[in-house]
Amino acid sequence: MQIEPLKQKCEQLFRDFYTEFRGIHIDQLERKWITISMVVIGLFVGIITIDAFFHGVNPPSKVETIDSASLHLSKEFAEDNLGVQVDDKDNVTVRMVAGRYSFFPKHITVPAETPITLRWVSMDVLHGVHIPMTNMSTMIVPGYVAEITTTFPKPGEYPVLCNEYCGLGHNHMWSNISVIAKEDWEAPEKSSAKGGSNHE
C-alpha cells in the first residue's frame, strides 16, 4: 500500500483547512467566548475523568449474556434465588431483577462497610440503577447481566432509583435497601449461591 501519497494528501487537506480557518473573521469578543466555553468543557471532562478514577466508576468488566425472556426459568435469576446470598467464603452477593416498574425483590437488607456484589438483569426493557452515596450506577440492558461491587459506607436507608427512561411509570420505579451495622447483620438462612460468577 502507498502510504506516502496518502500522507501528503492528508497534510495538504489539513493545510487547506487551517488556511481557510485562519481566513474566517472571528470577532474578538466571539473569540473570547469560544475560548471560555472550550475551557469550561475541558474542565468538566477533566472533573469527570478524575472522579471516575478516584471513585472507581467504570463500566461493568464482564459481558455476560442472559435470555431476558426466560429469567424465571434460569437457575440464577429464578424467583427463589433472588435477594441476598452469602457463600462459604463470606462473599455477599445480591441478585435483582428490574422490570417495569420496580426492582425485585422490593426490599433487601445488607451489612454496611462490606463489599457487596450486585448482579442485575432486566426482564423487559432498558433500565438503569443508581444508588446515591455509592459507586452503584449502571445501565441494565436486556440480555445482559450488569455486575458492580460496591460498599455501603454507613447504616441507613438507601434508595434504589431507575435512571434510564423506561416508560410512563419510570418515575415510580424505585426500591430501597436497608443497610445495617456489620455486627448486627445476620446472613440469610438459604445461602446456596447458584450459578453466576463465583468470586474466588
Residues making contact with ligand CUA (CB under 6 A): 127, 162, 164-166, 170, 173
CB of 95 to ligand CUA, least distance (A): 17
CB of 6 to ligand CUA, least distance (A): 47
The candidate with the shortest Cα–Cα distance to 66, out of 129, 128, 142, 180, is: 142
CB of 97 to ligand CUA, least distance (A): 12
Contact 168, 100 (CB under 8 A): no
CB atoms within 10 A of CB 143: 12
Contact 135, 128 (CB under 8 A): no
Q: Give the nearer residue to ligand CUA in terms of CB position, either 85 or 122.
A: 122
Query: Regarding beta strands 83-86 and 127-130, do their DSSP bridges make them parallel or antiparallel, or are they unpaired?
Result: unpaired
Q: Give the nearer residue to ligand CUA in terms of CB position, either 18 or 165.
A: 165
Q: Give the nearer residue to ligand CUA in terms of CB position, either 111 or 128.
A: 128
Q: What is the spatial distance between Cα 200 and Cα 3, in angstroms, rounded to a whole number?
A: 49
Q: Give the nearer residue to ligand CUA in terms of CB position, either 146 or 193.
A: 146
CB of 144 to ligand CUA, least distance (A): 15
Q: What is the spatial distance between Cα 169 and Cα 190, in angstroms, rounded to a whole number?
A: 33
CB of 170 to ligand CUA, least distance (A): 4
CB of 191 to ligand CUA, least distance (A): 29
Q: What is the spatial distance between Cα 95 and Cα 150, in angstroms, rounded to a whole number?
A: 13
Residue 192 phi, psi dihedral angles, 5° rounding: -100, 100
H-only helix segments in the chain: 3-23, 28-54
Q: Give the nearer residue to ligand CUA in terms of CB position, either 78 or 125.
A: 125
Q: What is the spatial distance between Cα 119 and Cα 103, in angstroms, rounded to a whole number?
A: 12
Q: Give the nearer residue to ligand CUA in terms of CB position, either 104 or 180.
A: 104
